[in-house]
Chain A
Amino acid sequence: MSTTAAASSIPQPAGRPVWRRLIGFNLLTAVLLGIGGYYLGWFIGHQINGKSLEYQSKIDENDVALLLAYAFGVVGFLIGLGFANYPVSRLLGRPASLREKEAEGIGRYFGLCTDHKVVGMQYLIGIGVFFFIGGLNAMLIRTELLHTTPTVVGPNQYLSLVGMHGTMMMGMMTSGILGPFANYFVPIMIGARRMAFPRIEALTFWLLMAAGFILTSTIFFGGFPTGWTGYEPLNDQAVMGMDSYIIFFALVGISMCLLGLNMLATIITLRAPGMTWSRLPIFVWSVFATAILMVLAAPVLVATLLMAALDRTIDTSFFIPGGGGSPYLFENLFWFFGHPEVYVLAIPGFGIVLELLPVFTRKPLWGYRLAVSGMLGVTLLSFFVWQHHLFVSGINADLRPFYMLSTEIISIPTGFIFLCFMGTLWRARTTFSVPMLFCLAWAFNFLIGGLSGVFLSDAPSDTTTHGTFFSMAHFHYTIMGGLIFTFFAAIYYWVPKMTGLRFNERLAKAHFWLMFVAFNSTFLPLFVVGLNGQPRRVSEYAPNLHALNVWVSISAFVLGFSMLIFIVNTVYSMIFARVAAEMNPWRSKSIEWQIPHPVPVNNFEQIPVFDSDPYDYGTPVPVGSARPEPAGA
């Protein structure tokens, strides 16, 4: 069955006008109900605020109304998509069904669909759109930093752009790899037909889309000045745009937590016969480790933001020093979430790199157990390091030696990953295809990120580097260099399987080289800029740093241009050229490349039985470490 055949097989009831098909639970209804919910919340909020809270509300601003409007809007949006149908029908005593899965054609990508492969595609496109919006914010930031004083972008808008860029990237890209690739490939890799909770899987995606829209809408309400950290009490001082941040991050937190829960349940319960823990593909292990972090860290964020919202609306003073609260509480809670969060971004990158490496080096993964313990070690330790973000804050300064130690210890399990990377490359037969190039770039970027992290983890040295462009360059090396490079590796590696279409190799190589060079040319100088006195999030800086900033801005524009090459390649390859991809272009032994294309709705006719891990390279055994049992066996 080809894709075209699938598309033309949409049931078209004869004589049914188009407008009739628009009625029902679909995206259009969802948007209309979302808008309706928004105005209902707005109205109720004005009643509450106008009648009972007026004495303490901010003049000409109504946080209650906006928070309620967003909340009601999201609920309406989800009901419109059909998320309430199942619980309601179950309450009415009707039998359970997975009806949403059976939709066909291109339309299923625009609504509630419980097929994990459709959700994976939805994630890829949805996250991609918001990733580019976040990137455009960065372009505007760098345009402003061509000047030493606020000239192009106003100071309010500058801070909002910085906040939107950071929040968008940190929020949406938490699911950057788990959303598209784990949802698509984890069930296949472990030999399952679906995720454990398919409806929750769809919910995580649509929550994220609602969240992204809400964050972008902050510009209608004055933006927010706090950056992605949202520190109190500045948070409490901000105009209504801050509520967009709060709702955005709360929705992202809920989505993250559910996504992690779903992944854990799937990996623990739905593994096929023979898929023992020691045969689990390393990518699945990285998803497992990430999911633990998501489930444990995200609820803290949601609770913290709820407290911040209460502070902003009814003066609860959780974080207000004058009222008995403490900004330190916010810093602690935020980073208790925030530090695991950065490993939520990094660990899936480890998984992608180690998963792809054996395929392109034609060697088994070197040190499988070491890699797994590295990931789990990072997962465990990442909950014990958060106060290294607060070395100069004066909070519990006596504990600094402990946090210095725990932070530096976390580089031991990270070192495992590097050792496995290097071990797999040893005497390899490497083919330098585009995904492999991105993996090699990961090693370089993450190395620079890790080594610069040593300066930040050392309390005396952190005195100078904390809160400057040095730390900003550091985390761009780890997150952009670690996550985004592997994100593109995964795209070039797996999208041919997901769509059945091949990328243009020449454009892909151009994208890689331009991105790699421009990335380093953008962020390496920023270490120097930071050490020479430029704090983060400023739109005015010392004139002696002007030349370097101009250099960085121009490099950043080239980096942005490399993303345009990617878009052009995607549009050209997926819409115009449409060259069919080979069944197994990388000669991989992993099971996702052995099943038919496009992947059938239920993935396997027979649940496969595994007898080894998928890294059976370097031996004369040809293809197929996992074989479906013969029918009728």
Chain B
Amino acid sequence: MSEPNHARRFGAIWIVASLVATPLVIVLLGPELPPGNASAQSSGQVTDNTVLLGMATPVLLLVVLYLIYAIVYFRQPRGAVLEGPAIRGDARLQTTWIVITSLMVLSLAAYGTTRLLSDNGAGSGSGPTPLTVPKGPKLPVQVIAQQWAFTYRYPTYGGVEVPHLVLPVNQMIELHVTSLDVIHSFWARQLAVKADANPQVDNIAFVEPTHLGAFEVRCAELCGIWHGEMFDRGHVVTQPEFQRWIRRARVTYAPATKELPPYSKTYQPEPVRRGG
């Protein structure tokens, strides 16, 4: 019985498929990947996702094509009770596999770390003292999560608080995310920002919007009955529009502003529990 050289044949199939599919995935699917290009961080994440997808494609193809190949070729003939060859391992293949997967994994971790640090946290909540801070002027904006709404405070504009987020374009924003009660998570999908809002914690995330337009804000951590309803729509506007808008907001919300406590990194309204 002449068995074909399965190793060579399958290897060829896999290499050809990978060489065809991987560039296609990177070129065609890559630019379409979420979260888009509304901010420097989201463009960065699209790059990350493209790299990860590019690395995952050959792996996916290896296993899936192998499964198909095995199902097609390595079958028990109908009605037969043949035994397979008693191969119990292959030291060289095992070593190669370990070396290659280790290299892939280490390079993934190194890549992820580089991206995380070079992109100043890549839009994610980086705690009260972020490891890297972008240079240049930053506009601080506080995100206050409460059951069940987000409100936003601009400390450099008289501490005015507003119900919807408006950000100027091409300006590094320093988001200070905190909560008044339980854990929430501030997720501005198009801007690629996600930061948990913890009570008594000032969770900082950096984002630089690069495109004008609206973005969705949603709560991404279960926070009680209206978790799903805790959404909002924010806007990225030009610098002059932003200045006009904030001037108007300071007038509109003047009655509320005078009730507000002084701006602070976190708030602890008393009491923790209320008696009857």
Contacts and interface: CB of A to CB of B under 8 A. Distances in A.
B108 to A, nearest CB: 5
A231 B112 contact: no
Contact of B74 (A429, A458, A459, A541): A429
Most chain B CB within 10 A, of A159, A321, A416, A617, is at: A321
Interface in B174-199: 177, 181-183, 185, 187, 189, 192-196, 198-199
B222 interface: yes
A535 B220 contact: yes
B56 A618 contact: no
Interface stretch (A76-84, A117-125, A366-374, A484-492): A366-374
Interface in A225-241: 225-227, 229, 231, 233-234, 237
Interface string B107-133: 011001101110101111111101100
Nearest to B62: A422
A463 B87 contact: no
Interface residues of A, number: 100
Interface stretch (B17-25, B97-105, B248-256): B97-105
Contacts of B130: 397
Contact of B124 (A365, A398, A429, A463): A463
A468 B75 CA distance: 41
A539 interface: yes
A425 B226 contact: no
A326 B183 CA distance: 11
B198 to A, nearest CB: 6
A327 interface: yes
A463 B227 contact: no
B243 interface: no
Interface in B35-50: 35, 41, 44-45, 48-49
Interface in A408-458: 408-409, 411-412, 415-416, 418-419, 422-423, 425-432, 440, 443-444, 447-448, 451, 454-455, 457-458
Given A466-B220, A540-B229, A367 B108 contact: no
Given A428-B74, A451-B60, A423 B49 contact: no
Contact of B49 (A227, A408, A455): A455
A531 interface: yes
Contact of B181 (A227, A233, A368, A539): A233
Contacts of A401: 109, 112-113, 116-117
Nearest to B107: A408
A321 B220 CA distance: 21
Nearest to B98: A412
A587 interface: yes
B42 to A, nearest CB: 8
B48 A461 contact: yes
Contacts of B87: 363-364, 366, 423, 426-427, 618
Contacts of A227: 222
B88 A237 contact: no
A320 interface: yes
Contacts of B241: none
A455 B54 CA distance: 12
A411 B59 CA distance: 12
A59 interface: yes
A461 B199 CA distance: 25
A327 B203 contact: no
Contacts of A617: 83-84, 86
A463 B183 contact: no
Given A408-B112, A455-B49, A468-B220, 18 more contacts: A156-B225, A234-B183, A234-B222, A327-B182, A327-B198, A363-B86, A397-B127, A400-B116, A408-B105, A411-B105, A426-B6, A427-B84, A427-B87, A429-B75, A444-B63, A531-B35, A615-B88, A618-B85
8 tightest A-B contacts by CB? A538-B228, A618-B86, A394-B203, A460-B122, A322-B272, A363-B84, A467-B220, A397-B127
